Structure 1
């Protein structure tokens, strides 16, 4: 399926109120201009919407999804991606602890609002992201409109160090039950990921299990950023990326790819007539 890209600059209220650039990549069916598709918010790594992120989002869109990619650092810089070098890495890591958690959450809400109002979106929303974006996709699932999230090597979840003050409340909110009976999550980590060590992964998994979150957990033989096909410092694994993308598509097709009707409480069976 062919896709198109449009740019949307959304006003924000928090921090200094600079507009947020959102890249929307959507399926193109010229003979069906009113076609409706599910929506996906695709959160980027610390470098904003780079070529690898846009290509990843484009693959999802080509399978029949309207994909919104927010530029996370609009408070500090323009929408252009940061470079995959020491300077770009330092800026990205600095911005992510200057920005408030409330501002990160506002970005997610605005991106979801944009998808829900998009003329070719049916309002069924999922999320995904990598690195910083994996954490933001996780937090997006607190919004009840997000029915599923696939999070690639989400950073800072285990250490609660995202945002200004380096004291995020992600796992605290999970413990409070804010993801219980909410959307489905998939957590994907590389076992050789030095950014999220084994103890950190164990903490995330046990916290989710104790809170009765609906999730799948995948640990693969890979390093951090293994899905990035550019400047990955030798960590890109194309074959493994393809496998994980197939898993992502299964989850999205099952949770938002079709309208299943109203959800019933866990353990109850819907009545039907034979």
Structure 2
């Protein structure tokens, strides 16, 4: 399926969020994926993945997750400098900022004729965590979280009771959680902790 790509600058309580949109280049309305990048924002691999999903009939939104902390259009390199800056940004932005970003994107989606109202989320690395975070919104019916980081520890700033794993009861959709067996970002004991806590809920 042919696709088209463009962007929207979405207003959020913490500033304008450049959001890249990849969608089918045909008439109609389609389900939406909120697609969260790693700490590097929309790099080439993220853009290619978004376009691939769009070619299968989805509207894919890729927000600049650290829009408050960087000029519009910033893409960090897959190098030491990029990792250092991205990790610094991760430690600087609290989860409430991601929540208001999600609300703003969902409201944007509701206003687009090419979106049919069905919304899911996915992401990689910190983006996996942010897809998990997006699932707190009732409009998000499912989230695919690929090697989501920092779910097991208090790294991303948050207010008391607002850590993502403390909000499990607010997730009403489905979760797909995927980690690599040899990924040393998330220790085995952390995966066991997340697995146990998820199994204590009604989440499917």
Q: TM-score range by the shorter chain?
A: over 0.9
Q: Deviations over 1:234-267 (max 9, x none)?
A: xxxxxxxxxxxxxxxxxxxxxxxxxxxxxxxxxx
Q: Which residue among 13, 20, 25 is the counterpart of 1:23?
A: 20
Judging changes above 3 Å, is the alpha-carbon distance between structure 1 residues 206 and 116 closer, same or farther for their aligned structure 2 residues? same
Structure 1 unaligned runs (5+)? 215-274
Q: Quick check: 1:60 aligned with 2:50?
A: no
Aligned partner of 2:6 in structure 1 is 6
Q: Which has the larger radius of gyration?
A: 1
Structure 2 unaligned runs (5+)? none
Q: Quick check: 1:104 aligned with 2:98?
A: yes
Question: TM-score by structure 1 length?
Answer: 0.71
Structure showing greater relative contact order (alpha-carbon pairs closer than 8 Å, 6 or more residues apart): 2
Aligned partner of 1:69 in structure 2 is 62
Q: CA deviation at 1:111?
A: 1.8
Higher strand share: 2
Could you tell me whether the CA contact under 8 Å between 2:11 and 2:17 is conserved in 1? yes
CA RMSD of aligned residues (A): 1.6
Could you tell me whether the CA contact under 8 Å between 1:76 and 1:95 is conserved in 2? yes
1:8 is paired with a residue whose SS is: strand
Aligned residues: 203
CA–CA distance in 2 between the matches of 1:185 and 1:117? 26
Q: Deviations over 1:151-205 (max 9, x none)?
A: 000000011322368x95111111xx222xx100100000111111111111111
CA–CA distance in 2 between the matches of 1:138 and 1:58? 22
Could you tell me whether the CA contact under 8 Å between 2:96 and 2:158 is conserved in 1? no
Question: TM-score by structure 2 length?
Answer: 0.95
